[in-house]
């Protein structure tokens, strides 16, 4: 879909309506039809802007950045440590613009199992990207997949926790803390 003024306006209206409904009556209890009505459009139009219902809340544009950051770490480290440092480099200093809607979305995802399933699909892609990079540098495929899976699981857990954390806590802190637990025997970085 080409991006025009109209496109952006409708997309924003859908997003607002969806977030409101999700927060008021829960994700599963909200129908695409209801969202469409609230946004003044047709269900069909909803799907022209978002491929699925959950895409309103779940978006993962980070894959290539993360894979690159992992690849940028010293290639002689073990896969787990390389992935860990890569994720720290890519996400360690994210400042999510203190955007409230980001937290609203994460909080919603944290509450609904069906949404977490959608997240895991996106995570799968990222995991694959990281593992491919590690294998390209000579890592064993299974070791690479395991390292990517473990580090991403820890990171995702931190992200979900951030959704319902007190407002002072930053996402960066939580991610650093999550990955620190996977560090080799008591190293601070």
Residue 124 near its own copies by CB under 8 A:
yes
Residue 59 near its own copies by CB under 8 A:
no
Among 29, 75, 136, 142, binds its own copies (CB under 8 A): 142
Identity of the residue, 40 or 78, whose beta carbon is nearer to its own copies in the bound complex:
78
Q: What does 139 interact with, of its own copies, DNA, none (CB < 5 to 8 A by kind)? A: none
Contact 130, 86 (CB under 8 A): yes
Residue 94 near its own copies by CB under 8 A:
no
- Token pair 């590690």: residue: 134
Q: What is the nearest approach in angstroms of DNA to the Cβ of residue 27?
A: 9
Number of residues binding to its own copies, judged by CB under 8 A:
33
Distance CA 131, CA 34 (A): 40
Contact 28, 112 (CB under 8 A): yes
Residue 129 near its own copies by CB under 8 A:
no
Q: What is the nearest approach in angstroms of its own copies to the Cβ of residue 146?
A: 5
Distance CA 155, CA 188 (A): 17
Q: What does 4 interact with, of its own copies, DNA, none (CB < 5 to 8 A by kind)? A: DNA
List the one residue out of 55, 33, 61 whose CA is nearest residue 45: 33
Binding piece for DNA, criterion CB under 7 A, among 6-14, 138-146, 161-169, 178-186: 6-14
Specify the 3-state DSSP secondary structure of 56: helix
Alpha carbon of 32 to those of 38, 67, 88, 127, 171: distances in Å?
10, 34, 37, 30, 30
Q: Binders of DNA among 54-93, rule CB under 7 A?
A: 54
Residue 51 near its own copies by CB under 8 A:
no
| Sequence-separated (6 or more) residues with CB below 8 Å from residue 187 | none
Identity of the residue, 31 or 164, whose beta carbon is nearer to DNA in the bound complex:
31
| Sequence-separated (6 or more) residues with CB below 8 Å from residue 108 | 19, 22, 23, 27, 57, 115, 163
Residue 24 near DNA by CB under 7 A:
no
- Residues in touch with DNA (CB under 7 A): 1-7, 10, 30-33, 40-45, 47-49, 51-54
């Amino acid at each position: 879909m080409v991006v025009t003024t109209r496109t952006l306006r409708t997309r924003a209206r859908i997003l607002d309506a969806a977030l409101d409904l999700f927060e008021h009556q829960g994700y599963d209890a909200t129908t695409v039809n209801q969202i469409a009505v609230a946004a003044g459009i047709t269900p069909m139009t909803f799907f022209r802007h978002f491929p699925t219902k959950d895409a309103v809340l779940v978006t993962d544009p980070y894959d290539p950045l993360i894979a690159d950051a992992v690849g940028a770490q010293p290639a002689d480290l073990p896969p787990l440590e390389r992935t860990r440092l890569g994720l720290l480099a890519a996400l360690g200093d994210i400042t999510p613009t203190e955007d409230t809607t980001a937290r609203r979305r994460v909080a919603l995802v944290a509450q609904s199992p069906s949404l977490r399933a959608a997240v895991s699909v996106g995570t799968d892609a990222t995991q694959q990207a990281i593992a491919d990079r590690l294998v390209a540098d000579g890592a064993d495929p299974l070791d690479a997949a395991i390292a990517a899976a473990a580090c991403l699981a820890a990171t995702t857990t931190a992200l979900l926790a951030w959704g319902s954390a007190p407002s002072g806590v930053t996402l960066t802190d939580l991610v650093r803390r999550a990955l620190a637990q996977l560090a080799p025997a008591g190293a601070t970085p």
